[in-house]
Chains A and B, each alone.
Chain A
Amino acid sequence: MNINEPNRIVPDRTSPVALVVDDVHVHFDVYLAASGARGIKSLVTGQRTRATVKALSGVSFVLRQGDSLGILGHNGSGKSTLLGAIAGQIACTSGRVLVRSQPKMLSGASVAMNTRLSGRDNITLGLLSIGMKPEEVAAKELEVVEYTELGDFIDMPVTTYSSGMKSRLLFAIKTHQTPDILLLDEALSVGDKTFKQKSLERVNGIRESAGAVVMATHQPAEIRESCNYAMWLKDGRVMLFGDPEEVIEEYESADGSRRDTVERRTKQHGTHERRRNQR
């Protein structure tokens, strides 16, 4: 499939368009740290070595209501940048994103939490920050508090929490509502065994009821399970977009060739070892 003809990707369908990503480029300017004499000179002159990182180069696709897209790619391939651009958190250098409603990101990375305040206060703030009215918050807050299973700790400052408790609180704050356009960055299960199961179910529930979903992952299995489109991203470019099976197969054969070699080598190594032992 030719990625330069995105029109072939989206079959003629009638459900309304939820998300348009139109030839999006994202470049970051980074300043390189100079050292030695050059570093001192740069301190005086204020000139710094600048480099441009092309995080995304011409990504285009359309999702309709009910579509679910899984993005495959290695670390640094541009998955998170693409999600950030769709959420409006990262500005496009050129091209544009159009949405039917404001997308909501569920990410593993931590959002701002006031650790001096109690868990309950953070829940209240989280609910207010999405524009909820105080009277709506009171009812919803109880529900979120119960979901965290933090018990009496909910009224203690977050500084007293273990990291597992913190991530449970964060997860509860972020997943209490179902957005129309859902963005998922990496796997989102947190906590101990029971809570992990519970959180997985919650994410799946949100994924099923959201209008359109874009998820970034390393796990082809997750895409096979719940997406009707897949995209393979490499160095900020779309390698392939289309049917999940097809994309996963291509991704794995390009990627897997390397894995196969590694496996073969370990196998050979193992036989050597055994032989030596037999002697």
Chain B
Amino acid sequence: MANLGLGVNETEGLFEPGIARAPGPYLKRMWDLRHFMMTEARGKLASGHSELLLGRGWLVLEPLLYVSVYFVLFGLALRTGRDLENIDFLSYLVVGKITFQFLSRGVLNSAGALRGSPKGALDFPRATLPLGYVLRSALAYRVEVFVMFAMVMLRGATPIAHWLFAVPLFLLMFAFAFGSGLCLSPVIRRFPDIHPAMSHVMRLAFYSSGIIFPVEVILLDADNGLSWLRLYTLVNPFFAFVKVQQAIAFDYEPVPLEYALLSVVTWSIGTLVFGFLWFVRDESA
């Protein structure tokens, strides 16, 4: 320290301004902002529809519309669901699409949360930025999940107690989306060009996760041996999340449930824990 004319112990109790640099205090700063984040996510979600005549009705309409389009194209015209035995294709599609939608929206938006944000210390914990996007996505999902179960019921399923497992699965999905955002957003701040490319990776994931046609029937056929495509499908987190949700909604188990659960838990806890430590380290570097 330069000679500032300070007495001994005079700097006691002083600290560096800005964000906390250790994971614990950092987490506390985020917790203190929980009401802010919730209110903001709610406000932003609502304001996204504020100038539309149907307002929040679009939260219900939107999933209905995109599912209808896919159903006409793939279900009726291309009949991609013909390999699904005894499984209603519309239910299969609705559950897959709505589950994937929440994940991809959460991952993509939160990964881009730091784009254009300056490097260096700030006076608020920046992990709240990706979290805000995932929260907003989750608030929309809250409505979409009702649409999802309503559609499954319309197709003849009766409500069963284990639909409640959709709640813990939602928490895992949330952790995975936020964790991915924490892992990717510091990288994307440095190399922003990754972000526009990522939406194409998401599209690949969408077509290869058993949503509009059952990749599992073709790829997981044991006779095919261990091909790269088979390995990719087994590792693909989106595939695992979609299959667990389908198992919850209408008892569909193309892969052993234990395997899918293991994958889902590993991906969500892994990305969240690693992502948080990595993000905080990057913030204070």
Where the two chains meet, the residues of A that have a C-beta atom closer than 8 Å to any C-beta of B are 5-10, 12, 16-17, 20, 22-23, 60-62, 86-91, 96-100, 102-103, 114, 116-117, 121, 124-125, 128-129, 131-134, 137, 157
> Which of B118-126, B133-141, B197-205, B257-265 contacts its partner?
B118-126
Nearest CB in chain A to that of B122: its residue: A89
B: number of interface residues (CB 8 Å): 32
CB-CB under 8 A for A17 and B18, given A88-B121, A88-B123, A89-B121: no
Nearest CB in chain B to that of A95: its residue: B2
Are A6's CB and B3's CB within 8 A?
yes
Question: Which residues of chain B are within 8 angstroms of A60 by Cβ–Cβ distance?
Answer: 2, 4
19 contacts between A and B (CB under 8 A): A6-B4, A10-B5, A12-B5, A22-B1, A23-B2, A61-B4, A87-B17, A88-B19, A88-B122, A88-B123, A89-B18, A97-B16, A98-B15, A98-B16, A100-B13, A102-B17, A116-B44, A121-B43, A125-B39
Question: Which residues of chain B are within 8 angstroms of A116 by Cβ–Cβ distance?
Answer: 44, 47-48, 50
What 1/0 flags go to B263-278 for Cβ under 8 Å of A? Answer: 0000000000000000
Give A12 Cβ to nearest chain B Cβ, in Å: 8
Are B123's CB and A10's CB within 8 A?
no
Q: Does B6 contact A (CB under 8 A)?
A: yes
Give A181 Cβ to nearest chain B Cβ, in Å: 9
Are B121's CB and A91's CB within 8 A?
yes
Question: Which residues of chain A are within 8 angstroms of B5 by Cβ–Cβ distance?
Answer: 6-10, 12, 62
Q: How far is the CA of A61 from the CA of B4 in the complex (A)?
A: 7
Are B4's CB and A86's CB within 8 A?
no
Other-chain residue from B6, B16, B39, B123 in contact with A89 (beta carbon distance below 8 A): B123
Q: How far is the CA of A96 from the CA of B162 in the complex (A)?
A: 56
Q: How far is the CA of A10 from the CA of B3 in the complex (A)?
A: 11
Are A10's CB and B15's CB within 8 A?
no
Question: Which residues of chain A are within 8 angstroms of B122 by Cβ–Cβ distance?
Answer: 88-89
Are A62's CB and B16's CB within 8 A?
no
Q: How far is the CA of A20 from the CA of B7 in the complex (A)?
A: 12
Are B6's CB and A62's CB within 8 A?
yes
Other-chain residue from B3, B11, B35, B123 in contact with A134 (beta carbon distance below 8 A): B35
Nearest CB in chain A to that of B13: its residue: A100
Question: Which residues of chain A are within 8 angstroms of B47 by Cβ–Cβ distance?
Answer: 114, 116-117, 157
Are B4's CB and A100's CB within 8 A?
no
Other-chain residue from B11, B120, B124 in contact with A91 (beta carbon distance below 8 A): B120
Q: Does B40 contact A (CB under 8 A)?
A: yes
Are A117's CB and B4's CB within 8 A?
no
Q: How far is the CA of A166 from the CA of B119 in the complex (A)?
A: 29
Give A107 Cβ to nearest chain B Cβ, in Å: 12
CB-CB under 8 A for A90 and B120, given A6-B2, A7-B5, A102-B17: yes
CB-CB under 8 A for A17 and B11, given A97-B17, A128-B39, A131-B32: yes
